[in-house]
Amino acid sequence: MTPREPAVLVMPFEPLTPGENTRLFAIGMGQELTSNLFRFGGFRLYTSPPNAPTVKSDTAPRLGASYVVRGSVQTSAEEVQVTTTVFSENDEIVWMRTYARPFDPQSLMNVQRELASEIATVVGQSYGVVRNDIRADPPRNMESYLCVLRAQAYRSTFRRVDFDPAMQCLQQTVQRDSQYSDTWAMLGWLHIDAGRLGYSGDGNPQTEYDKALEATSRAIALQPNNLLALKALASAYHFTGRYADSDRISHLAIDLNPNDPDILAQFGWRLAIRGNFSEGVPMLKRAIERTMHPPGWYLHFIAIDLYLKGEYKQMLDVAETASLRDSGFSQLLIAMANAELGRRDATQTALKGMSQYKALADDPAGFLRRNGAADQVVDALMTGLRKAQALVAS
């Protein structure tokens, strides 16, 4: 990375029309624009998740960002209107464009490609930006596209209440639009969640992981270089115990898009949970460096690595940062760190928070093993949990 590379901060797109569909379109537009921009070399790209706090006025300068991209989406029965603005670090408008397109997925995907290409040109002129061809296969109808957006919105929070509607929608969509690779990829992701989070109806996670592998393999057969499908397939291989295949697909995804923090974070997480902290933690840190408000799971194994090194105060700081955007696992890590620091009340509060996350609280060791945790990871976390529980009971 050279000092002359510009840095770009992409903010979540704002829905200006009321309704769930517009909200999903706004999330999807921001995410797809970011994904397309990651395919261009020549500048650093920072992202902010859809549910992240509002960016402060001094965020861009603190990140060293030369540009901030903001956008909005409005919808009607006939068309979608997308407005995108690129601001300089001094908050001056350097580029602005409004697209009005028919209400169909092909038109929306064309807008995403056009935006990525034009923004890359604006921020990369004279910086030697590498221009890569961006291609994606559209679905046959808007319902299929909306279903994928709904599933992606669920996976930004993993809320149990959103899981069943997303799963049902995907199962219907693969019957209706069986050639749409993204749907099969997202179906694979949800089968993985059903197994690892205990959402499976029959209680057998392996059955869900096998279904995930089948769905993601179908996605790749339809579109071999679909990054969403490659990430899902790598995860499915991990959860079915085919670690060499998981690593191979992960490396392929990184080769196709080396700038995408989500690819790095997923691979780093899988390496770390299998006990390979020396390779996994640096990948997680690289992903965090490119994300303004990283999801909590980006941070978990950095905290666990600090625990194994006996650096409990640093572990607590990392776990508390993760807890701002995490539903429960961070509370386990916070309890462990506070217990090592002898903080009984804080340990008790964290254990209470963890108890509200049933998938973890009901069977902590089982939860970890469903996620592919190596014995050394399970043993360390269970030892830490027992210490926390003993401190509270004393």
Query: pLDDT by residue (tens digit) across 328-367?
Result: 899 999 999 999 999 999 999 999 999 988 889 999 999 9
* Coil, strand or helix at 277: helix
Over residues 281-316, the pLDDT tens digits come to: 999 999 888 777 788 999 999 999 999 999 999 999
CB 81 within 8 A of CB 17: no
Percent with pLDDT over 70 in the chain = 86
Q: What is the DSSP string of 181-224?
A: HHHHHHHHHHHHHHHHTT--SSS-HHHHHHHHHHHHHHHHHH-T
Q: How many CA atoms lie within 13 A of 109 on its CB side?
A: 16
Has residue 239 got a pLDDT over 80? yes
11/45 Cα distance (integer angstroms): 11
Lowest mean pLDDT among 21-25, 202-206, 382-386, 387-391: 202-206
Q: How far is CA 34 from the centre of its chain?
A: 12
Instruction: Identify the weakest region by mean pLDDT among 170-179, 262-271, 288-297.
Output: 288-297
Q: Which amino acid, one-letter code, is at 11?
A: M
Strands 79-88 and 93-102 turn out to be: antiparallel
Q: Which residue pairs, CB below 8 angstroms and at least 24 apart, start in 63-67?
A: 63/7, 63/9, 63/292, 64/7, 65/7, 65/8, 65/9, 65/89, 66/6, 66/7, 66/8, 66/123, 67/6, 67/7, 67/8, 67/9, 67/94, 67/122, 67/123
Cβ–Cβ contacts within 10 Å for residue 238, how many? 26
Give the 3-state secondary structure of residue 293: coil
Give the tens place of pLDDT for each residue, 41-63: 556 677 776 655 555 555 555 55
| C-beta of residue 205 within 8 angstroms of C-beta of residue 359 | no
Place of tokens 């070399």: 41
Identify the DSSP state of 41. Answer: B
Beta bridge partners of 8: 45, 67
Say how far apart CA 328 and CA 351 lie, in whole Å. Answer: 10
